[in-house]
């Protein structure tokens, strides 16, 4: 919901709720749309003869890459950030938290590791150079990454850092506020929240229900009166999900398109993907609520290390491939590319 002062997160994670917590979620739909766009891009590259794949292989490649994204992304998130999910079970589908993808919990870096293994496997099966498959995968990936960031917004996860205190009283329209902040321990405006106790009967809160929970639920029911009362109590944050959707889904593919206007050596686009994504992630990471430091009090987090490693790997790959005589791809028509 957009107010004059900021964006209030009141998104329902379900596109269609079938029963209880089961249904079609925006998170899963974003992945499906990302894979569809990747398939269309790879099919176009294959159908126009820009890469050594036929259209049937385009579908096979995207299927293999999808498995790599899902397996690598989920395992990466668990190993990097939430290892306790390996030991969390419930009586509801999908029973094991490891498979509960719809609630979120995917690592982009883990997904890229998964894609690397998937591309190696496909290259061997199709008898195509791995670097060529890597270029195809890298070129098709950004739109799915951008959609994934929008899905993070819908889920209300991976919030941005708080704006400076000087901006909190009159936050800019593009700032983001999360009603679920009221449920957190140490909520800064707990005393001011208590002053809204008179609204308990108005919103139909149960006797034993906490006021914070009742107000939060009312916000997600899009109650304008409650939102207007609660919004000034919430922390204005950087819109990191939208920022990363822009860098991943718009800036990154633009960089790759420029890099591949003309045919380039195999591995060239993969190298540029690693550099551009790593640099963009390092930049936007400064505005996201930080993960724990790898080393105490250094300010260096795991995503920063992984993104820095991607930049180094990308530069190394460009240096190693720039003199190769095996150019492929090129977005311009063949006649234009020869000029």
Average confidence (pLDDT) over 235-258? 97
Per-residue pLDDT at 260 = 97
Name every residue whose Cβ is closer than 8 Å to that of residue 210 and which is 6 or more positions away in sequence: none
- Among 243, 309, 301, 307, CA closest to 281: 307
Average confidence (pLDDT) over 28-46? 94
Pick the range with the lowest mean pLDDT from 7-11, 69-73, 207-211, 312-316.
Answer: 207-211
Task: List the structure tokens of 335.
Answer: 């006649």
Share of the chain above pLDDT 90, in %: 63
The rounded distance, in Å, linking the Cα atoms of 318 and 271 is: 5
**Tens-digit pLDDT profile for residues 79-110:** 877 777 777 777 766 667 777 766 667 788 88
Per-residue pLDDT at 102 = 60
Burial 97-108 (b: 16+ CB within 10 A, else e): bbebbbebbbbb
Task: List the structure tokens of 163.
Answer: 């704006």
State the residue for tokens 């270029």. 135
Task: Tell me which DSSP letter residue 17 carries.
Answer: E
Per-residue pLDDT at 334 = 56
Average confidence (pLDDT) over 327-331? 91
Is residue 3 pLDDT above 80, yes or no?
no
Per-residue pLDDT band at 339 (split at 50, 70, 90): very low
More confident residue, 337 or 65: 65
Q: For the chain, what's the residue count?
A: 339
Q: How many CB atoms lie within 10 A of CB 251?
A: 15
Per-residue pLDDT at 256 = 98
Share of the chain above pLDDT 70, in %: 91
DSSP state letters, 162-221: BPPHHHHSS--TT-EE-GGGGGSTT-TTHHHHHTTGGGTTTTT--TTS-HHHHHHHHHHT
Per-residue pLDDT band at 338 (split at 50, 70, 90): very low
| 3-state secondary structure at position 23 | strand
At residue 96, φ and ψ (nearest 5 deg) are: -110, 125
Q: How many CB atoms lie within 10 A of CB 211?
A: 17
Per-residue pLDDT at 103 = 62
**Tens-digit pLDDT profile for residues 164-197:** 999 999 999 999 999 999 999 889 999 999 999 8
Answer left, alpha or beta for residue 78, where phi above 0 means left and psi between -120 and 50 means alpha.
Answer: alpha
Per-residue pLDDT at 80 = 75
**Tens-digit pLDDT profile for residues 289-324:** 987 666 666 778 888 888 999 999 999 999 999 888
More confident residue, 141 or 200: 141
Per-residue pLDDT at 109 = 82
Is residue 336 pLDDT above 80, yes or no?
no
| 3-state secondary structure at position 91 | coil
More confident residue, 260 or 80: 260
Task: Tell me which DSSP letter residue 52 carries.
Answer: S
Instruction: Name beta bridge partners: 264.
Output: 328
């Amino acid at each position: 919901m957009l107010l004059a002062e900021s964006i209030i997160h009141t998104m329902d994670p379900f596109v269609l709720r079938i029963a209880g917590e089961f249904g079609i979620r925006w998170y899963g739909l974003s992945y499906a749309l990302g894979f569809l766009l990747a398939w269309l891009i790879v099919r176009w590259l294959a159908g126009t003869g820009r890469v050594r794949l036929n259209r049937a292989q385009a579908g096979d490649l995207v299927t293999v890459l999808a498995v790599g994204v899902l397996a690598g992304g989920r395992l990466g998130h668990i190993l990097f950030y939430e290892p306790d999910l390996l030991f969390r079970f419930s009586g509801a589908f999908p029973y094991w938290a490891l498979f509960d993808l719809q609630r979120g919990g995917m690592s982009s870096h883990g997904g890229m590791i998964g894609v690397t293994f998937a591309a190696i496997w496909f290259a061997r099966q199709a008898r195509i150079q791995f670097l060529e498959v890597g270029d195809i995968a890298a070129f098709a990936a950004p739109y799915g990454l951008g959609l994934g960031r929008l899905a993070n917004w819908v889920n209300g996860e991976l919030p941005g850092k708080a704006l400076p205190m000087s901006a909190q009283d009159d936050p800019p329209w593009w700032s983001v506020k999360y009603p679920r902040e009221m449920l957190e321990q140490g909520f800064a405006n707990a005393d001011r929240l208590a002053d809204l106790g008179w609204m308990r009967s108005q919103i139909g809160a149960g006797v034993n229900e906490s006021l914070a929970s009742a107000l939060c639920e009312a916000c997600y029911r899009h109650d304008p009166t409650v939102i207007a009362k609660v919004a000034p109590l919430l922390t204005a944050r950087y819109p990191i999900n939208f920022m990363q959707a822009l860098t991943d889904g718009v800036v990154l593919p633009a960089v790759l398109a420029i890099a591949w206007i003309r045919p380039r050596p195999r591995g060239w686009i993969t190298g540029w993907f690693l550099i551009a994504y790593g640099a963009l992630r390092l930049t936007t990471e400064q505005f996201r609520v930080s993960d724990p430091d790898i080393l105490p009090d250094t300010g260096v987090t795991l995503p920063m290390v992984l993104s820095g490693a991607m930049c180094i790997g990308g530069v190394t790959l460009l240096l190693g491939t720039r003199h190769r005589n095996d150019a492929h791809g090129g977005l311009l028509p063949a006649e234009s590319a020869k000029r």
